[in-house]
A and B are shown apart, each in its own frame.
Chain A
């Protein structure tokens, strides 16, 4: 395990369909984050897990979005009834909860979603 992995890397779907993305964090990391990045912008925070508990959700995460991390390992992000505005790169990151005062997050390569 050399890093954060995300699947699929690319997803093309039609408006109104549901999609699910998977993130596998670095194995010893107990924190997991989802971000969304649109063209020409920086990543925007969506949600954050510590172990299996979802501790924070952004207002960007509408009720069509749901994220889970059932056993505190991998996580899934589901988007229901996709809209063209959901087209973006979805990034996953993980970090540990060691005693350091900073919080280095390690990012996966992302899943690029295109909604037609």
Chain B
């Protein structure tokens, strides 16, 4: 079945450091890919998305590119801030071409130190 694999956390960085959180997936067909973020005490929020190969999703300085050849959707940010401390989840969905459910990775906790 479909699955999403994320790098283990926690990831601890100093402010202004470069961030990469790896995400790879196994799926049939062409799923849509998402990054969700969960700040402490809050619900999941969509951070960015990509719906087809080579699409780049971006938001709030975060970027991720849908790489079909490597089945990856790595999250990057050039300069992290303390306010980016949260848990990040990679997810896929087949949407209209199949079931609408999301399949999530296990999440990666990011801690940014001032």
Contact = CB atoms under 8 A, between A and B. Distances in A.
Interface of A: 4, 31, 33, 35, 40-45, 48, 56, 58, 91, 93, 95, 101-110
A102 B32 CA distance: 6
Interface residues on B, range: 20 to 34
A56 B100 CA distance: 9
Contact of B93 (A42, A44, A102): A102
Interface in B58-114: 89, 91, 93, 95-96, 99-107
A31 B93 contact: no
B22 interface: no
Contacts of B44: 43, 91, 93, 107
Nearest to A109: B43
A102 B100 contact: no
Contacts of A93: 44, 102
Contacts of B32: 101-103
Contact of B42 (A35, A43, A58, A109): A109
A108 B45 CA distance: 9
Given A103-B100, A105-B46, 9 more contacts: A4-B43, A33-B102, A40-B106, A91-B43, A101-B32, A102-B95, A103-B93, A104-B34, A107-B44
